[in-house]
Amino acid sequence: MAELPENYKRLIALGITKLANLPDLNDMTDRGRYPMKPWTAEKTVGTIGLIKKHKIIDEESFVQRFQEESKIPLEILTDQVYEHQIKYFGRYRYDKETIFKYTYCCIVINSLQGSSTERVFDIWASANNINIVEPHPLLDEKFHTDRLQIDGAGKVIGFISIKPNSFHYNYIQYSDVFAGLQAISNITGIPWKIYYRVEDSFTLIQLSSLNEDLQKLIMNWATDYSKDEIKEITPILNNINK
């Protein structure tokens, strides 16, 4: 494992699993007060793009490439998440090794699982006559758009986000996903669709399938989405069907 401290290499050798993805740390980094989101492409490197670029299928290759190409390597991300506990919890609730396992799970394991889920979705979509293409990298990296659905003429008719089965458990907690998708939908008038995996099939969530209160909540989230990211993506969206 490239340039990682020996104690972290030993943790990886023991096997880091999804159990390391602790809910209160997810709240701290992504959805609670003071979200830091340290593994966004702006601060690190687009992980799904990294996997596609190098055709990565295993953890060791992923870590090697991530350490080489990320603006911030895993051990520094671990330090940042560890120190952020003071701001969020008011103390160090977890030790450095626990934080490393959490960071590794978010960066490495979740990215590899997401890539696998996308491959299964592509097969399923083809079998169900859903025509899809790859999105612009910024849509993937910053607006949770994994695929674009197109009609027979090649016109984009949907922004698609692909999620693992675990997404549907209290899915509304993932406010950043809904906010990003709704923000680009507001600009283009093109609806978003979230497909979460159920074995080798997928179930659809879309705005019209949610109750009125949730729809209003998502609309409010979208208006608060990063203005800088909206500014960056708007020229791309304005040309999406031209």
Query: What is the rounded CA–CA span in Å between residue 118 and residue 215?
Result: 26
- pLDDT for 29: 86
Same-domain status, 76 and 155: no
181 plus 114 within the same structural domain: no
Q: How many CA atoms lie within 13 A of 132 on its CB side?
A: 23
Low-confidence residues of the chain: pLDDT under 50: none
Q: Is residue 1 part of a domain?
A: no
pLDDT in tens, 41-67: 566 777 877 888 888 888 888 999 999
Amino acid at 140: D
Does 77 share its domain with 167?
Answer: no
Query: Looking at residue 204, which CATH number applies to its domain?
Result: 3.40.1350
pTM, full prediction: 0.69
Pairing between β-strand 192-198 and β-strand 156-163 as defined by DSSP bridges = parallel
Strand order in the sheet with 201-205: 132-133, 147-150, 156-163, 192-198, 201-205
Query: Looking at residue 13, what is its pLDDT?
Result: 87
pLDDT confidence of residue 156 = 97
- Residue 123 falls inside a structural domain: no
Domain check: are 87 and 176 in the same one? no
pLDDT value at residue 183: 94
Output the pLDDT for position 86: 94
Same domain, 63 and 159: no
- What pLDDT, on a 0 to 100 scale, did the predictor assign at position 2? 60
Cβ neighbours of 30 (radius 10 Å): 19
Q: What is the pLDDT of residue 88?
A: 92
The pLDDT of residue 191: 97
Domain of 98?
6-118
Domains in the chain, number:
2
> Does residue 43 form part of some domain?
yes
Instruction: Say what the pLDDT of residue 37 is.
Output: 67
Residue 125 in domain: no
137 and 109 within one domain? no
